[in-house]
């Protein structure tokens, strides 16, 4: 029998380790599908509910921005908790925040409280940050040669999150008639409970002890050209995905499109974000991270161009689909490089720092997106997205010259 302590496996045969690794990846993939619905629900409804509750239309996207703040501020503390008590402790805390987020959001809608709704989305952001760490947990429990595939397979669970979240909104948004979307967030809380039950069964191999002084210094790690390039590409991919996704549902409403059309747009977007994960790891192994990341950034650029060509439902949907695929190639490709930039005893610190940088940058983009949309309109939001794309393009040209990503 393996010795299990606090959700960590300390003594296992090779066969048992293989079977547990497969079980862990499967559980994390299903949990990703359920827990990922939290983010989808908030992105699909956050700006619309914000517009209902906020004292000013200019604050409509503020709850979604607070969601991103929750992701950013929880990344480093989550890493510290993992170092002391293991990943499963963080998974349970995250799931608790997800359930609390749903309950508080429903209560906020009932009370017509904008501040309480923002608090709810903050806890939703904490949950989302933990959910994104599932990819690294899966990569840590398989042999090195399978890490990028395990990472992308867990990310593929988001395909089902892309179906569950928007359909949850569509089926429940009018169930509690006096309070639009309140039932949606109650349903989200229930889904969070099911995700927590799954995560209780995750058993991860014991990681090397990661003391603050263990491994190289953070400064030395940050100086690695490969790490810098990977983080910049991941930041731009996630920044622009969040930048456009935050604004899109409210922009569709401003253009006279229905809530059902907005829900379907977000559904196809999230499916497009995660469906490529079934083969992104294979593409990275075959063609190299740099080509995959470059393709992703090109697709994000094409999504912005598509949005500029029209404001009907077809253009919005195609914009969101291209954006989702581009995010997947850019983010998963860059994440696979980050896995190779640290030693085992450095993994938690480096992964937490990577996510903190990404989410911290997203906070700026999220606030800016809402301001640009309400003041200047959807097309200015799209034009603005080419600025970070240009920065990423320059980075990739330098990476190509010095082979930073694929060495």
pLDDT by residue, tens only, the chain of 407 residues: 444 444 544 444 544 545 567 778 888 888 888 888 888 899 889 988 998 999 988 788 899 889 989 988 888 888 788 878 878 888 899 999 999 999 999 999 999 999 999 999 999 999 998 988 887 777 777 766 677 677 777 877 888 888 888 889 989 988 888 899 999 999 999 999 999 898 887 776 655 444 555 567 777 777 778 888 888 999 999 899 988 988 888 899 889 888 888 888 988 998 898 888 778 878 888 888 888 999 999 999 999 999 999 999 999 999 999 999 999 999 888 888 877 776 666 777 777 788 788 888 888 888 888 888 888 999 999 999 999 999 999 988 887 776 555 54
Q: What is the pLDDT of residue 214?
A: 56
Per the structure block, which two tokens stand in for 321? 């689909």
pTM: 0.76
Alpha-carbon distance 121 to 179, whole Å? 17
CA-nearest of 300, 276, 272, 296 to 365 is 300
Which three-class secondary structure state does DSSP give residue 339? coil
Alpha-carbon distance 204 to 140, whole Å? 8
Please list the helix, strand and coil fractions of the chain in percent, rounded to the nearest 5, in that order: 80, 0, 15
Residue appearing with tokens 């993994």: 347
CA-nearest of 311, 333, 278, 321 to 382 is 311
Asked if 193 and 67 count as a contact pair (C-beta separation under 8 A), the reply is: no
Alpha-carbon distance 29 to 61, whole Å? 30
Alpha-carbon distance 123 to 105, whole Å? 10
CA 381 remoteness from chain centre: 21
CA atoms within 13 A on the CB side of 209: 2
Asked if 185 and 120 count as a contact pair (C-beta separation under 8 A), the reply is: yes
The DSSP H or E segment spanning 330 is helix 313-338
Facing residues of 8 across strands?
5, 204
CA–CA distance from 65 to each of 41, 169, 205 (Å)? 14, 20, 36
């Amino acid at each position: 029998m393996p010795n299990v302590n606090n959700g960590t496996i300390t003594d296992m045969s090779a066969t048992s380790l293989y079977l547990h690794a497969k079980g862990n990846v499967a559980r994390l993939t299903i949990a990703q599908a359920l827990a990922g619905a939290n983010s989808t629900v908030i992105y699909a409804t956050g700006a619309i509910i914000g517009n209902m509750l906020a004292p000013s239309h200019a604050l409509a996207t503020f709850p979604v921005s607070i969601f991103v703040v929750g992701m950013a501020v929880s990344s480093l503390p989550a890493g510290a908790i993992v170092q002391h008590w293991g990943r499963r402790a963080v998974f349970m805390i995250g799931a608790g925040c997800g359930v609390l987020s749903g309950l508080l959001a429903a209560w906020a809608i009932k009370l017509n409280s904008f501040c309480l709704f923002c608090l709810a989305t903050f806890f939703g952001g904490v949950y989302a940050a933990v959910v994104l760490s599932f990819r690294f947990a899966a990569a840590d429990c398989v042999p090195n040669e399978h890490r990028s595939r395990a990472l992308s397979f867990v990310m593929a669970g988001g395909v089902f999150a892309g179906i569950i979240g928007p359909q949850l909104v569509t089926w429940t948004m009018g169930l509690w008639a006096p309070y639009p979307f309140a039932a949606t967030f109650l349903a989200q809380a229930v889904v969070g409970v099911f995700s927590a039950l799954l995560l209780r069964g995750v058993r991860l191999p014991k990681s090397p002890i990661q003391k603050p002084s263990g491994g190289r210094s953070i400064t030395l790690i940050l100086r690695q050209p490969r790490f810098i390039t990977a983080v910049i590409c991941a930041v731009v991919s996630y920044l622009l995905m969040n930048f456009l996704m935050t604004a899109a549902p409210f922009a569709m409403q401003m253009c006279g499109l229905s809530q059902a059309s907005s829900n379907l747009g977000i559904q196809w977007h999230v499916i497009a974000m995660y469906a490529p994960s079934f083969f992104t790891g294979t593409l990275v192994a075959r063609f190299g991270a740099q080509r995959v990341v470059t393709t992703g950034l090109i697709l994000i650029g094409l999504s912005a161009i598509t949005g500029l060509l029209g404001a009907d439902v077809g253009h919005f949907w195609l914009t969101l689909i291209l954006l989702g695929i581009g995010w997947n190639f850019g983010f998963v490709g860059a994440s696979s490089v980050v896995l190779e930039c640290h030693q085992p005893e450095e993994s938690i610190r480096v992964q937490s720092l990577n996510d903190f940088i990404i989410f911290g940058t997203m906070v700026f983009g999220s606030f800016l997106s809402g301001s640009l949309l309400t003041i200047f309109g959807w097309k200015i939001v799209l034009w603005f997205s080419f600025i970070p794309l240009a920065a990423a393009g320059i980075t990739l040209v330098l990476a190509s010259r010095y082979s930073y990503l694929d060495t």
